[in-house]
């Protein structure tokens, strides 16, 4: 069931989204050669707690950290570790959620560490831009399929692949709600976007094949061919003016 939010509930979701966004912003600033992924996780955890919120991901289905940190060919769900250092040339995908006043905010971004190869910069740019192209068409009356069709069309035209095994989702009192929001789909198909709907749009884009596999830790998801992957995500609300980004740090 898709749960539509009232204006009062959207205000509460905006607070959760802002905390998640600011935590992600701090995490991005910490990305530099030599930092461990656990150190970045600690920054995220400390900030979210300082705001009176709780990390959405910590202990979610057993996940052992406050954010997901995925490097290079890792698509999503990387587990932070004190033994893992970020190196110059890496790309670092960080996924952060915050829970406060009964609602979640969920967002992700892929950050370059130092100077990265031009092909990786292009991957990051295309993935980020596909997110904002999808947000533009997330208007009342359009459909979930329009979002996926927009992302996939944009990405395919640039020679990349979208991940099909994992998708975006509704967000609210639960971190993952209906509807599913794939990064592929048919224009004019799927659930209709309605006022008060809150969804996480999150393109996951691979340099090579869209196929992925989950490692033995049962979390870390990597590209099947070992090529790099990027991940960008915003939680948005469907309003009369179109999609409003709830995970804006400002």
- What is the percent of the chain with per-residue pLDDT over 70, rounded to a whole number? 100
Can you tell me the distance from the alpha carbon of 208 to that of 199, in angstroms, rounded to the nearest whole number?
27
> Residues in the chain with pLDDT < 70?
none
Q: What is the set of domains in the chain, with CATH numbers?
A: 7-245 (3.90.230.10)
Q: What is the pLDDT of residues 48-80, one digit of tens each?
A: 999 999 999 999 999 999 999 999 999 999 999
Q: What is the pTM of this model?
A: 0.98
According to the model, what pLDDT value does residue 38 have? 98
């Amino acid at each position: 069931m898709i749960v539509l939010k009232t204006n009062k509930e959207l205000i509460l979701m905006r607070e959760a989204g802002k905390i998640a966004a600011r935590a992600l912003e701090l995490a991005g600033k910490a990305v530099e050669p030599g930092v461990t992924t656990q150190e970045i996780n600690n920054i995220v955890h400390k900030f979210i707690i300082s705001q009176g919120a709780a990390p959405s991901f910590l202990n979610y289905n057993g996940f052992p950290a406050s954010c997901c940190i995925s490097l290079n060919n890792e698509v999503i769900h990387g587990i932070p570790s004190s033994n893992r250092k970020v190196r110059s040339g890496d790309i670092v995908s960080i996924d952060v959620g915050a829970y406060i006043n009964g609602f979640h905010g969920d967002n992700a971004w892929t950050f370059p560490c130092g100077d990265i190869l031009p092909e990786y910069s292009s991957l990051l740019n295309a993935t980020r831009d596909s997110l904002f192209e999808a947000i533009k068409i997330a208007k009342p009356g359009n459909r979930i399929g329009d979002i996926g069709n927009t992302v996939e069309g944009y990405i395919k035209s640039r020679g990349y692949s979208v991940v099909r095994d994992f998708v975006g989702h509704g967000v609210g009192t639960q971190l993952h709600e209906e509807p599913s929001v794939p990064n592929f789909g048919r224009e004019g198909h799927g659930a209709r976007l309605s006022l008060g709907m809150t969804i996480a749009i999150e393109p996951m884009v691979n340099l090579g094949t869209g196929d992925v596999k989950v490692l033995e830790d049962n979390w870390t998801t990597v590209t099947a061919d070992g090529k790099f992957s990027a991940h960008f995500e915003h939680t948005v609300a469907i309003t009369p003016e179109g999609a409003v980004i709830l995970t804006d740090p400002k």
